[in-house]
Chain A
Amino acid sequence: DAGVTQSPTHLIKTRGQHVTLRCSPISGHKSVSWYQQVLGQGPQFIFQYYEKEERGRGNFPDRFSARQFPNYSSELNVNALLLGDSALYLCASSTLHRDYLNTGELFFGEGSRLTVL
Chain B
Amino acid sequence: SQKIEQNSEALNIQEGKTATLTCNYTNYSPAYLQWYRQDPGRGPVFLLLIRENEKEKRKERLKVTFDTTLKQSLFHITASQPADSATYLCALAGPRGNAGKSTFGDGTTLTVKP
Binding site for B on A (CB under 8 A): 4, 31-33, 35, 40-45, 48, 50, 55-56, 88, 90, 92, 94, 96, 99-111, 113
Among A100, A102, A104, the one with the most B-chain Cβ atoms within 10 Å of its Cβ is: A104
What separation, in Å, do the CA atoms of A109 and B4 have in the docked complex?
23
Binding site for A on B (CB under 8 A): 4, 31-32, 34, 36, 41-46, 49, 89, 91, 93-107
**Across the interface, do A110 and B43 meet the contact criterion of CB distance under 8 Å?**
yes
Q: Which of B42, B46, B105, B107 contacts A105 (CB 8 A)?
A: B46
| Given A42-B105, A43-B89, A44-B104; A102-B97 close (CB under 8 Å) | yes
Minimum Cβ distance to chain A for residue B85 (Å): 17
What separation, in Å, do the CA atoms of A99 and B98 have in the docked complex?
9
**Across the interface, do B100 and A31 meet the contact criterion of CB distance under 8 Å?**
yes
| Chain B residues whose C-beta falls within 8 Å of the C-beta of A107 in the assembled complex | 46
**Across the interface, do B43 and A108 meet the contact criterion of CB distance under 8 Å?**
yes
| Chain A residues whose C-beta falls within 8 Å of the C-beta of B95 in the assembled complex | 100
10 A-B pairs, CB-CB below 8 angstroms?
A: A48-B101, A101-B31, A101-B96, A102-B99, A106-B44, A108-B45, A110-B41, A110-B42, A111-B42, A113-B41
